[in-house]
Chains A and B, each alone.
Chain A
Amino acid sequence: MSRTITVEGDVNTIDTRTLLTGQGSVTAPSLVVPAGMTKIKKIIVTAAADGLAAGHVVNFMRLGGNAVLNGEQVFVFGGEDSIAPQAGSDAAPSLGEFFMIDDADIDVRSSDTISIAGEAAGVDVGDQTFAITLVYGK
């Protein structure tokens, strides 16, 4: 059996650990690992930038908190870059396809809280929205 949790949030400042705690209309979804779940099996994550600053970043996630048994796990999931268009012209949109780890196999403890944070490193590209789904299993 699988259970899922999805969270999202804005990551608007470079080199800043930003907790992702919202879920759109649900402002505070539970971050407690469901009973009986012992692993994070899959991770699905996406991001897009408004590109209002000329920069280049790699984005990464931090999975931590009391529920993650072997300490914080950090992984990159994508890159965003942007350079200002000429006056009077438009830049192409940023279309963030999701990245998935199919067999993440991260040990967790059920009924404890997981901390999910996003961060961008490099040179600021403007505002970004991150969204991540964790798929729990046994």
Chain B
Amino acid sequence: MSKLYRTREGTISAVDTKTQLTTLGSETAPGPLLVPAGAKRLTATILAYATSQAVAADGSVILRLEGPGLPEGPETLVVGSQGVAVATGGHGSRSARRIELDIPVVAANEILLFAENVGEDVGDVTVGATLEFTM
């Protein structure tokens, strides 16, 4: 059983607002994230984020997975959180987190990824999400 990895990223700029992740760095229009042919399960997500630290506030980031590629309906996952006391002089480095899952998927159908800043507005947040599919 080999695995296949699909990734999207994007930047959130408003609190409590679903923001779709549609780009991939230098690929500004990679197209819909389709469940690869032959894939049967979404077996993990790998999530990373970074914030502008430009607002003295605290908030969390969540990921929403939606679309016809998920026959059981939408899913949500925590990505991380951020808080700063002053909006100067911050420097952060975070490893991604891998979350094991066991979610059925429908091959050749789309999964839409949305990130959202919840709680207080922490400024701009860039979020990356990788989906790990198992054949």
State whether A99 touches B25 (Cβ < 8 A).
no
Instruction: Write out the residue numbers on chain A whose beta carbons fall within 8 Å of the beta carbon of B129.
Output: 76
State whether B95 touches A74 (Cβ < 8 A).
no
Q: Is the interface of A mostly helix, strand, loop or mixed?
A: strand
In the complex, per-residue mask of A36-80: 1 if CB is within 8 Å of any chain B CB, else 0: 000100000011110100111111100000000010011111111
Given A17-B26, A70-B2, check contact A83 B7 (CB 8 Å): no
| From A47, A76, A119, residue with most partner B Cβ within 10 Å | A76
State whether B91 touches A91 (Cβ < 8 A).
yes
Given A56-B52, A83-B52, A122-B11, check contact A104 B95 (CB 8 Å): no
In the complex, per-residue mask of A71-106: 1 if CB is within 8 Å of any chain B CB, else 0: 001111111111111100111111111110101111
State whether B126 touches A82 (Cβ < 8 A).
no
**Smallest beta-carbon distance B98→chain A, Å:** 7
State whether B51 touches A56 (Cβ < 8 A).
yes
State whether A101 touches B2 (Cβ < 8 A).
no
Binding site for A on B (CB under 8 A): 1-7, 9, 11, 23-26, 28, 36, 46-54, 87-96, 98, 124-130, 134
Contacts A54-B52, A121-B9 aside, 8 further interface pairs with beta carbons under 8 A come to A47-B93, A56-B125, A79-B93, A79-B128, A89-B88, A94-B93, A106-B2, A106-B5
